[in-house]
Amino acid sequence: MFKCSIIVVTILNFLVLVTCGPAEQYRGHQVVEMIAKDVATANLLRAYVDNHNKDMDVWTLTPTACQVSVVGEQVDPLQKFCEENNIDFKVMIEDLEVAITEHMKRDAPTAIRSLTRSAETDEWFSRPQQEQKPFNYEEYNRFDDIAKELYRLQCAYPDIVDVTQIGLSHEKRPLLLVRITQNVLGCSSKKKPVIWIDGGTHAREWISVATPMWILRELVTKFGKDDDVTNLLMENEIMLSPVFNPDGYEYTFTGARLWRKTRTPTKKTDCLGIDANRNWDTEQFGGAGTSDDPCSPIYPGEFPEQDPAVRGFAQVLRYIRPRLKTYWTMHSFSQFLLTPNSYKREKPPTFRIFGGPAFVFVTTIISKSNRVYGTGNAIDFQNNLLTGLSLDYVHDALQIPYSYLLELPPSRQSPFGFALQKTEIDSVSKEVFCSMLAALNRIDEDIAARQQAATTVPPTTTIQTTFTTTKTTNLTTTPATLPSVKISTTTLQTEKPNEENSTTAASLQKTPESKLFSTPQRENSGSLENTTTNNSGDNYRTSRRR
């Protein structure tokens, strides 16, 4: 049986006034579930959602389940459509406003502090609005509190933490990037491979902000105490941005809890925001999985990198491309590890490279928790194509095969997936971090295997064959070996990796990595300090040098 749960919210109600609360915008909205009984009705349901995307906010859309959100008066036409096409229909949440209000009371932070920008110095400083409390990593925190905590960590751990402002958002909030590595300000750190982690691209996905912050704390507090963390930071540089979209994220606390986009103006004056994960310069930009309506939650913008946050972080990624080893961007919800490519049905040739670590990640997380994750491209994820995604930009334009989008819990069956309780932050982050360490270990092993296959002269076997001409010919054969997998950071032990996802040294030796990409490599953008700017012209700079 094909299951499709749908939650429908009018797009016009996303155009909210700042004076309104985060729950008031959803007064009269309902959550409904629709279940398609076979492939034919599932296709009808998908077509209905596609044809009404201007009136719906799609939460999840998969081959067997979809979630979208509808204002009260639109429920009856939707129910009538289901009855006419023999699709089961069920109301799951009678009043979305009430559900959001309860969620905010339970999970929203109590202490609020703000960062105020000085027009004279263009600097940010903390101004308490009430008694300041220690930062709580097991709580959903406001952007200003997060920024303050990042600078506190820089002061507390100066040898391994450096906070950099790469630009400003449209509403003049700092776009912050944290560098974590041993001897972070030393010259040697500029030569280390880079592991990229970001979250908060979509504003309403609070767990995608809390998890990178939890990982950051784990890295800085366990360096020198935990072997896995210590080795990771000695050999790599972590670049972490917990709040990719600060304007939209802050707006979910003050304006509309289910706001998805940035707050950048569009060609339609009464519709703000660009989908920050549809605004990347990928093949078929503005195609599948987007809408040309600026009021839509999936509006990609008029051109790639129109949004200052996307443009700023894309410039950083282009600059560090020679050192970039792997890219991880966190979203929610669905419990799925998305891999390239999202804009076409076929998996790219580099699947033989990135498939192995993806398999290790999902098997490790399953062994560590009761949560089941899937992995694959957009067709595997939701039987639908997507364009303008960051993981495809990093994979295609920057030619980094280890590019992943992680959809965090809860599962797609949850009726209110964006309201994951804050009590789940610790367990979700812990299992994700452990699984990422296992995947990173696999990435290192695969890279080492490819390097060895490319540089080592293989052993030869000489066979004496005598022909009628009495000449002797030497025939050389090269045995293909399969590298073993050992995950030191988890109890999961894999002696033989999945053949479909694994990469043998022989196959990689025959196909150079550079030839596995179908798109030409883009030129490096030059010096980051000279080129990475936002609309305000602020250069990328390290805050410690200001």
Residues classed as catalytic: 407
> Residue 464 contacts by C-beta under 8 Å, 6 or more apart in sequence?
472
Whole-number Cα distances in Å, 397 to 238, 296, 400: 21, 27, 8
Whole-number Cα distances in Å, 299 to 265, 291, 331, 541: 12, 5, 17, 31
What sign has the CA pseudo-torsion 519, 521, 523, 526? positive
**Three-state secondary-structure class, residue 474:** strand
Cβ atoms within 10 Å of 275's Cβ, excluding its own: 26
Residues 348, 280: Cα–Cα separation, whole Å: 19
Q: Kindly report the CA angle at 152 between 149 and 154, in degrees rounded to 5?
A: 115
- Nearest by Cα to 33 from 71, 74, 82: 82
Largest CA distance in the chain: 97
70: Cα separation from own chain's centroid = 27
**Residue 505: burial class (beta carbons within 10 Å; 0-12, 13-18, 19+):** buried
End-to-end CA distance of the chain: 60
Which phi and psi angles does 368 have, rounded to 5°? -95, -15
In residues, how long is the chain?
A: 546
- Nearest by Cα to 517 from 335, 394, 390, 373: 394
